Amino acid sequence: MKPVADVSPTAFEQELLGAVSAVHRFALHLARDPVRAEDLLQETYLRALAHRAQYASGTDCRAWLFTICRNVFLKGEARADREVATDDATLEAVAAAGLHAGLQGTDPLGAVFEQPELAEAVERALTRLPEEYRSVVVMVDLEDQSYAATAHVLGVALGTVRSRLFRARRLLQEDLLAFAQDAGLLERRKDGAR
Partner 1 sequence: MISCREVIEQLWDYLDGELAPERMEEIAAHLAECARCYPQYRFEFSFLEAFARHREKLPGPPQALVERLRLLIVT
DSSP designation for 87: P
- Min CB(94)–partner 1 separation in Å: 7
8 A C-beta contact, residue 38 and residue 58: no
Measure the CA–CA gap between 64 and 52, rounded to whole angstroms: 10
- Min CB(87)–partner 1 separation in Å: 14
Residue 102 or residue 155: which is nearer to partner 1 going by CB?
A: 102
- Min CB(184)–partner 1 separation in Å: 18
Residues that bind partner 1 (CB under 8 A): 4, 7, 9, 13, 16-17, 20-21, 24-25, 28, 34, 38, 41-42, 45-46, 49, 90, 93-94, 96-97, 100, 103-104, 107-111, 113-114, 118-119, 122-123, 140-142, 146-147, 162, 165-166, 169, 172-173, 176
Measure the CA–CA gap between 56 and 182, rounded to whole angstroms: 49
- CA proximity to 138, closest of 98, 99, 168: 168
List of residues 6+ apart from 23 with CB closer than 8 A: 41, 44, 45, 62, 65, 66, 69
Residue 13 or residue 83: which is nearer to partner 1 going by CB?
A: 13
The dihedral through the CA atoms of 45, 164, 98, 128 has a sign that is negative
Residue 110 or residue 130: which is nearer to partner 1 going by CB?
A: 110
- Min CB(137)–partner 1 separation in Å: 8
Identify each DSSP E strand in the chain by its residue range.
none
- Min CB(38)–partner 1 separation in Å: 6
Residue 34 or residue 155: which is nearer to partner 1 going by CB?
A: 34
